[in-house]
Amino acid sequence: MVKKIKIHREGYKIILAALVLLLMVNVAVRLIWPALPLVHNLLLGASVMLLAFVVLFFRTPARHVEPDPLLIYAPADGKIVVMEETYENEYFKDNRLQISIFMSPFNMHSNRYPISGSVVYTNYQPGKKFHARSPKSSVLNERSTIVVTSENGTEILVRQVAGALARRIVTYSKKGEKVRQGDEIGFIKFGSRVDIFLPPETEPRVQMFRQVRASRTVLARVV
């Protein structure tokens, strides 16, 4: 049985624009060079593949989570590229366990809350376009920071970071709102990363370079 692909709302306009543009290019090429069927077929094939990529980029699978106050789930699909104690200088201004997830253009780009609780801080900052794997991207690139406090008092910072290809970060979080583990934080378009800053005593449950899935992989356990 073939599963239906659910498209994220952030992708509707982009998919439509890509479809219209590709149709125009294919029609124009056929009108300008009508006697080149091989070129027409190659262009059509490439157009179908490009459109399929754009559609798949904006896929958003349903991922149900049974909330657990002791577990911290991955906020994004991708690969662990940073896992170390570092100084967080925007909100906590002290040492935290940082885990960073790099999302390639082939990953699902919807971001999810790693814990349930209340949003106590949000901040968007424009920035540069360093590659998302670079340590500089966390503090210099376009980014959006969200802090959630759980019922047991654990504070976790999630930072959406735009990459070299990303053009827009979308964040739905609002200060003061109650959120549930697994609910959507927002979306980052075309290549990026998500940093999560945890209390230093948190017990990690992942290793470097592991592939993780949002609301499926447990990153750490609250001690």
Q: For residue 129, what pLDDT is reported?
A: 67
In a domain, 63, yes or no: no
101 and 53 part of one domain: no
Residue 136 domain boundaries: 71-221
Q: Is 192 a catalytic residue?
A: yes
Q: Is residue 4 part of a domain?
A: no
If asked whether residues 92 and 198 sit together in one domain, one would say yes
Give the number of domains in the chain. 2
For residue 53, what is the enclosing H or E element? Answer: helix 37-57
Note the pLDDT tens digit of each residue in 10-57. Answer: 999 999 999 999 999 999 999 999 989 999 999 999 999 999 999 988
Same domain, 53 and 76: no
CATH assignment at residue 160: 2.70.70.10
Q: Do residues 83 and 180 share a domain?
A: yes
Report d(CA 215, CA 77) in Å as an integer: 9
Token pair for 99: 């885990």
For 200-213, write each residue's pLDDT tens digit: 999 999 999 999 99
Catalytic, out of 116, 138, 192, 215: 192
Torsion of CA 91, 189, 128, 144, to 10 degrees: -10
> How much of the chain, in percent, has pLDDT values that exceed 90?
72
The C-alpha atoms of residue 1 and residue 9 are separated, in whole angstroms, by 25
Matching residue, tokens 């735009």: 162
Q: Is 142 contained in some domain?
A: yes
Q: Looking at the structure, do residues 101 and 155 belong to the same domain, yes or no?
A: yes
Looking at the fold, whether 53 and 77 belong to one and the same domain comes out as no
Q: Flag whether 1 is in a domain.
A: no
pLDDT tier at 142 (50, 70, 90 boundaries)?
A: confident
What does each C-alpha distance from 55 to 4, 17, 58 come to in angstroms?
A: 12, 12, 6
Instruction: Tell whether 2 is covered by a domain.
Output: no
Residues shown for the chain: 223
Q: Are residues 46 and 75 in the same domain?
A: no
Residue 182, domain member (yes or no):
yes
Measure the CA–CA gap between 132 and 141, rounded to whole angstroms: 8
Shared domain for 151 and 193, answered yes or no, is yes
- State mean pLDDT over 157-168: 79
Task: Round the average pLDDT of the chain to a whole number and report it.
Answer: 90
**Together in a domain, 80 and 53:** no
Please indicate, yes or no, whether residues 13 and 108 belong to a single structural domain of this protein: no
Q: Which residue has the tokens 């583990």?
A: 181
Could you identify the residue written with the tokens 């966390």? 138
Same domain, 52 and 77: no
214 and 149 share a domain?
yes
- Mean of pLDDT values over 101-108: 90
Please calculate the CA angle 130-136-218 and round it to the nearest 5 degrees.
100
